[in-house]
Amino acid sequence: MPDDAPAALVDQRGHVLVITLNRPHAMNAVNAELSELVGTALDRAEQDPETRVVVLTGAGERAFCAGADLKAVSRGESLAAPGHEDWGFAGYVRHPISKPTIAAVNGFALGGGTELALASDLVVAAESAKFGLPEVKRGLFAAAGGVFRLPRQIPQKIAMEMMFTGEPLDAARAATLGLVNHVVADADVLTEALALAEKIAANAPLAVQASKRVALGIVDGAISAEDSDWDSTRENAVGVMTSEDVREGTTAFVEKRAPVWQAK
């Protein structure tokens, strides 16, 4: 992958817009460039009457998205799209549009990768896909919607165990719990996601979009019912993100060693 390759690719396929996270060398970890490109693509999809469905996937075979680029975090870099911090992680998790979104999950979808799946309307997963919120293993927590969306989309006690231990679920278990719509062979994940997208696109677009807005409570590009959840997340993130533990966690990751926690 050339160093100057864009961090995300956008491909219009008829009525379906495909967004590909394009940092396979970093397991499609999110940085500011990726966030800007994804968020801009979502705006394009929302404004284009010919686009009826968005499919989000990852380049390469190893990962859909491994979450935040911890090397960028350790350097003190922002992961947000410049000037569009309100879009949230990857330009996606706080950027609801009226067009249905499908996550085509290939390989690992850990941390922010799982949060991208949680922010999507539907999920088609490869058999090898893994979902999890391992942030606590690095001194972080799932502040991109994971801490409140996961307990609403799967049984609460399973969600709490995932958040407390950082341990992942495989695709089959995720489907059983309702986190995933379809599990398919690894080679077929994008093909099956596109087939599902075409099935949706064959329906009346205004009716589909109205259904989504009402179901999720989307008004003026936001889900107001989640406002208090985001406020609580932000308040708690201050203490976590300014702690010695978060610095230790990210440094230990870069140095490839076990972290030594101080609880401060």
Q: Residue 216: what are its φ and ψ, rounded to 5°? A: -100, -5
The closest alpha carbon to 110, from 140, 79, 77, 154, belongs to 140
223 contacts: CB under 8 Å, gap ≥ 6 = 96, 216, 217
Q: Compute the residue count for the chain.
A: 264
What is residue 87's DSSP assignment? G
What is residue 82's DSSP assignment? T
What is residue 3's predicted lDDT score, i.e. its pLDDT? 63
| Percent of the residues in the chain that have a pLDDT greater than 90, as a whole number | 77
Q: Which CATH number is associated with domain 8-186+212-219?
A: 3.90.226.10
What is residue 262's predicted lDDT score, i.e. its pLDDT? 86
What's the alpha-carbon Rg for the chain, to the nearest Å? Answer: 18
The closest alpha carbon to 100, from 53, 163, 39, belongs to 53
Q: What is the C-alpha separation between 38 and 16, in angstroms, rounded? A: 15
What is residue 71's predicted lDDT score, i.e. its pLDDT? 79
Residue type for position 190? L
User: What positions carry a catalytic annotation?
Assistant: 115, 135
Average of per-residue pLDDT across 134-157: 94
What is the crossing angle of helices 156-165 and 146-153, to 10°? 140
Please report which confidence band the pLDDT of residue 47 belongs to, taking 50, 70 and 90 as the band edges. very high
Please report which confidence band the pLDDT of residue 5 belongs to, taking 50, 70 and 90 as the band edges. very high
Reported as a single tens digit per residue, the pLDDT across 172-224 is 999 999 999 999 999 999 999 999 999 999 999 999 999 999 999 999 889 99
Instruction: List the single range of 35-39, 40-44, 69-73 with lowest mean pLDDT.
Output: 69-73
Strands (DSSP E) contained in the chain are 8-13, 16-21, 53-58, 63-65, 101-105, 108-110, 122-126, 130-132, 169-170, 182-184, 218-219, 222-223
Q: What is the C-alpha separation between 73 and 151, in angstroms, rounded? A: 27
**pLDDT over 60 at 1, yes or no:** no
178 contacts: CB under 8 Å, gap ≥ 6 = 153, 154
Reported as a single tens digit per residue, the pLDDT across 94-121 is 999 999 999 999 999 999 999 999 999 9
